[in-house]
């Protein structure tokens, strides 16, 4: 990515003051983004421009009261597959039906203090439920009797560093830490692995503003694809801190070599192979501080060698005037994503539907929307289903699991990773410390 000097100083100070002034709960539960900002051709409003007080509105993380749970869409039912976990973020279903859960949070930031802005942002994230220390482990859940509840759990792996993505290729289980991909030998049915794993390849670390690293194996098992988010909102920490970031990497498992597969993706997380076309798809968190509905987070196919705009432009070639100097030649290459999900919904989880749920949830993708902290009113805090036809999104997203935020604006939970089993959709809830199980209603 070319060098550029980006605006920071005064904006950072204003934002820090804002965080101190605006840490209030939402006065109401989140609402869906305007219909015009969702879908393959969203209407993008004009940027809000530089504001002394950017929008900061946080749903206070409370956790579920006894007996309460999210609300499933008509025709579906939801129950707890496992509860009393410790900040469960990501899910992976093994071939024998065992479920791996990455209990994880952000690694310690270099130079602990980090200045006023960093300290205040840390306070906001704590209100949102992201302030707990990282458990740094993977839990294995097993539902041996098939009753829809995991009756046994095991500490599967420790000695990890903010683990997130997981992928099994043959007899090797790969885990993405915040700074590297590591590997463990695995045999069917085992309930734990020893040690810290074999280091396969490094991933960009440093500030780790966006620390989550997800991985997905290619269908033939030859490659891993790894997501790496940016170290900033729009490069304000300097583009030397963004080397190899805001990207998806391709890792050759035979040679260990890796290369940038796609760039300009501010914070990609969930990935999935679209079954009809075999194309890679991802969900991406876009930039902040341009307004309630700008820039929409999105779901997109990922082309080899493509550039998706960050930090210079968004949703194709809409130039972000805050970034100085610009790179017109690179902006001219920027590809517009396929499908807008709405501003600041924080799309993280992604899973392809199978035949486990009834129509209309059989052809498309499930998206876990963690929820906004910088939109008024709030958005996200739900799992949606994006219908597909002929390998592409077809129609508006359908709310599938809602009710994560109370009418008073407290967050009972926040959905993150989603995964499909042979009989259900599983949803990791890192504030509710629960894995929810969604099935067809009896």
* Pairing mode, strands 410-411 and 60-61: parallel
The span from the CA of 79 to the CA of 72, in Å, is: 10
Sheet with 198-202: list strands edge to edge.
Answer: 166-169, 172-176, 180-185, 198-202
Q: How would residue 18 be classed by pLDDT, with cut points 50, 70 and 90?
A: very low
The span from the CA of 187 to the CA of 171, in Å, is: 6
Residue 190's pLDDT is 97
Residue 23 has pLDDT above 50, yes or no: no
Mean pLDDT, residues 233-237 taken together = 93
Q: How would residue 408 be classed by pLDDT, with cut points 50, 70 and 90?
A: confident
Residue 198 has pLDDT above 70, yes or no: yes
The highest-confidence range among 14-18, 287-291, 299-303, by mean pLDDT, is 299-303
Q: How would residue 212 be classed by pLDDT, with cut points 50, 70 and 90?
A: very high
Residue 50's pLDDT is 57
Residue 401 has pLDDT above 70, yes or no: yes
- The runs of H, that is alpha helices, within 93-241 are 115-127
Mean pLDDT, residues 290-312 taken together = 96
Residue 341's pLDDT is 97
Residue 336's pLDDT is 98
Element (H, E) at 330: helix 328-333
Residue 22's pLDDT is 41
239 close to 190: Cβ distance less than 8 angstroms: no
Quick: pLDDT tens for 33-67: 777 889 999 999 999 865 556 677 778 889 999 99
* Per-residue three-class SS string for 214-241: CEEECCCCCEEEEEECCCCCCCCCCHHH
Residue 430 has pLDDT above 50, yes or no: yes
Residue 14's pLDDT is 41
Residue 150's pLDDT is 98
Residue 35's pLDDT is 78
Q: In sequence order, what are the beta bridge partners of 166?
A: 175
Mean pLDDT, residues 111-139 taken together = 68
Q: How would residue 123 be classed by pLDDT, with cut points 50, 70 and 90?
A: low
Q: Residues with Cβ < 8 Å from 223, sequence gap 6 or more?
A: 217, 250, 251, 252, 253
Residue 115 has pLDDT above 80, yes or no: no
Q: Strand, coil or helix: what is 15?
A: helix
Residue 102 has pLDDT above 80, yes or no: yes
Mean pLDDT, residues 113-134 taken together = 62
The span from the CA of 324 to the CA of 175, in Å, is: 37
Averaged confidence pLDDT in the chain: 89
Q: In sequence order, what are the beta bridge partners of 343?
A: 296
Residue 31's pLDDT is 59
Q: Strand, coil or helix: what is 37?
A: helix
Share of the chain above pLDDT 90, in %: 78
The span from the CA of 212 to the CA of 430, in Å, is: 14
Residue 129's pLDDT is 64
Provide the CATH number for the domain formed by 9-29+52-61+95-355+362-412 in this structure. Answer: 2.120.10.30
Residue 121's pLDDT is 59
Share of the chain above pLDDT 70, in %: 86
Q: Residues with Cβ < 8 Å from 49, sequence gap 6 or more?
A: none
Residue 280 has pLDDT above 50, yes or no: yes
Mean pLDDT, residues 199-224 taken together = 95
Residue 26 has pLDDT above 90, yes or no: no
* Residue for token pair 């496992």: 82
Residue 435 has pLDDT above 70, yes or no: yes
Mean pLDDT, residues 428-435 taken together = 97
Q: Strand, coil or helix: what is 3?
A: coil
Whether residue 311 is preceded by a cis peptide bond, meaning omega within 30 degrees of 0, is: yes
Mean pLDDT, residues 176-188 taken together = 98
Structural tokens at position 318: 């809409």
Q: What are φ and ψ of residue 117, in 5° steps? A: -60, -45
Whole-structure pTM over 0.95, yes or no? no
Top-confidence residue, 142 or 35: 142
Q: How would residue 97 be classed by pLDDT, with cut points 50, 70 and 90?
A: very high
* Pairing mode, strands 410-411 and 398-402: unpaired
């Amino acid at each position: 990515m070319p060098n550029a000097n980006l605006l920071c100083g005064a904006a950072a100070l204003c934002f820090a003051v804002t965080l101190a002034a605006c840490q209030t709960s939402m006065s109401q539960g989140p609402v869906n983004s305007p219909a015009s900002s969702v879908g393959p051709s969203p209407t993008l409003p004009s940027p809000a421009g530089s504001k002394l007080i950017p929008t900061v509105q946080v749903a206070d993380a409370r956790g579920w009261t006894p007996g309460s749970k999210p609300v499933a869409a008509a025709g579906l039912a939801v129950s707890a597959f496992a509860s009393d976990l410790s900040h469960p973020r990501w899910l992976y279903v093994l071939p024998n039906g065992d479920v791996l859960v990455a209990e994880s949070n952000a690694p310690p930031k270099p130079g602990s203090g980090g200045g006023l802005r960093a300290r205040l942002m840390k306070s906001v994230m704590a209100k949102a439920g992201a302030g707990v220390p990282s458990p740094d482990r993977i839990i294995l859940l097993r539902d041996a009797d098939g009753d829809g509840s995991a009756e046994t759990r095991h500490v599967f792996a420790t000695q990890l560093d903010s683990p997130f993505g997981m992928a099994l290729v043959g007899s090797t289980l790969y885990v993405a830490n915040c700074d590297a991909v590591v590997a463990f030998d695995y045999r069917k049915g085992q309930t734990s692995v020893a040690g810290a794993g074999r280091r396969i390849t490094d991933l960009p670390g440093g500030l780790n503003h966006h620390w989550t690293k997800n991985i997905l194996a290619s269908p033939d098992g030859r490659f891993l694809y790894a997501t790496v988010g940016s170290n900033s909102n729009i490069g304000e920490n300097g583009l030397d801190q963004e080397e190899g970031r805001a990207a998806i990497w391709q890792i050759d498992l035979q040679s260990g070599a890796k290369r940038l597969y796609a760039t300009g993706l501010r914070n990609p997380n969930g990935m999935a192979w679209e079954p009809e076309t075999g194309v890679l798809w991802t969900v991406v968190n876009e930039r902040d501080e341009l307004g309630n509905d700008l820039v929409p987070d999105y779901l997109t196919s990922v082309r080899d060698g493509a550039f998706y705009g960050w930090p210079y432009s968004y949703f194709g070639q809409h130039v972000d005037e805050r970034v100085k100097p610009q790179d017109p030649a690179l902006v001219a290459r920027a590809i517009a994503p396929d499908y807008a999900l709405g501003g600041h919904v924080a799309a993280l989880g992604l899973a392809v539907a199978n035949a486990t749920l009834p129509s209309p949830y059989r052809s498309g993708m499930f998206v876990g929307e963690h929820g906004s902290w910088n939109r008024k009113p709030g958005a996200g805090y739900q799992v949606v289903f994006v219908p597909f036809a002929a390998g592409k999104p077809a129609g508006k997203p359908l709310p599938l699991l809602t009710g994560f935020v109370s009418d008073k604006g407290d967050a009972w939970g926040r959905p993150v990773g989603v995964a499909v089993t042979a009989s259900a959709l599983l949803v990791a809830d890192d504030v509710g410390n629960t894995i929810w199980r969604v099935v067809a209603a009896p």
